Amino acid sequence: MKIYIDGRLYAREDARISVFDHGLLYGDGVFEGVRIYARRVFRLDAHLARLAASAHAIGLALPLDRAQLAEAVRETVRANRQSDGYIRLVVTRGDGPLGLDPTTCARPRVIIIVADVAVYPAALYESGIRIVTAATRQVPVASVDPRIKSLNYLKNVLARLEAHAAGAAEALMLNGDGFVAECTADNVFAVRDGIVRTPPATEGALDGITRAVVRELAAESGLAFREERLARYDLFTANECFLSGTGAELVPVVALDGRPIADGRPGALTRRLTAGLRALAEREGEPVF
């Protein structure tokens, strides 16, 4: 494995950063997760645009422009000869003295990791996953906007621990008003009467890249797509439910809090959208090597 750090590639055992990096000390930084399919990097431009927006929102000046970041990603993929997998692109605030002040950090640090990915066992894409509602709530939008893909994922980690304790694959996170925000690493969708519904960013949902692809695929299939406030009621009474994410792709949800959704099996629209995503991934983008 070759890991990119600030313009150089290192073997995994030699890839090290300073203990004074504010990304490590304070979770001060942003990141993106990107997929590779058949030697093609999927939706890299969209991911880099979101990275730039996240960085700008926290006052972090990217040390590379978008073209340079794209080439760094491609270089790392080529160095690893990774045909299919996952790219983690991280930009930290960089090294600085102890203390929160970000202006003391000399230069942001860029890290790129390329690896295999298996968020869920393959069998669960056929049978569907069971999720539970976490007691841990999403951070209020007025505090940290969910459109910022920040390194600070502690709330998500705590919610995922709740899922593990309950024997579930994922945890549903609600916002401070008790409405659906997202899962710990995925956007959530409810399908009812042929309409695909998902919470907007104003409810605490990440503005996901795969979520945007679902919108495109729904339009191509003649399905209505709505961003609207959802309660757990809307998931309990849905005809289908599924999650989307770069790592997870599309995964059907068959039960929430021990109660089956519809007949407790993955739905036809979920399968259709999943097939559409896979077909799109196979044909979109230029091969990296």
Q: For 193, phi and psi rounded to 5 degrees? A: 55, 40
Beta strand ranges found along the chain (DSSP E): 2-5, 8-11, 29-37, 40-41, 85-92, 109-115, 129-133, 170-174, 180-183, 187-192, 195-198, 224-227, 240-245, 249-256, 259-260
| Residue tagged 């203390």 (tokens) | 99
Average pLDDT along the chain: 98
pLDDT of residue 170: 98
Domain with CATH 3.20.10.10 in the chain: 122-283
Q: Would you give the end-to-end CA distance of the chain in angstroms?
A: 16
Domain with CATH 3.30.470.10 in the chain: 2-115
Active site residues: 149
Token pair belonging to 189: 């969708």
| Residue tagged 């431009």 (tokens) | 45
Measured distance CA(235)–CA(78) in Å, rounded: 42
Residues 6+ apart with CB under 8 A from 41: 34, 35, 73, 74, 77, 87, 285, 288
CATH of 2-115, one of 3.30.470.10, 3.40.50.300, 3.40.1160.10, 3.30.2350.10: 3.30.470.10
Residues 6+ apart with CB under 8 A from 152: 27, 144
In terms of Cβ atoms closer than 10 Å to its own Cβ (0-12, 13-18, 19+), residue 259 is: exposed
User: Which amino acid, residue 222?
Assistant: G
pLDDT of residue 286: 83
User: Which residues of the chain fall below pLDDT 70?
Assistant: none
In terms of Cβ atoms closer than 10 Å to its own Cβ (0-12, 13-18, 19+), residue 74 is: middle
User: Which amino acid, residue 254?
Assistant: V
pLDDT of residue 285: 83
Could you read off the pLDDT of 2-32 as tens digits, one per residue?
Answer: 999 999 999 999 999 999 999 999 999 999 9
pLDDT of residue 99: 98
- Beta-ladder partners of 256: 131, 259
> Hey, what CATH topology would domain 122-283 get?
D-amino Acid Aminotransferase; Chain A, domain 2 (3.20.10)
Could you read off the pLDDT of 87-127 as tens digits, one per residue?
Answer: 999 999 999 999 999 999 999 999 999 999 999 999 999 99
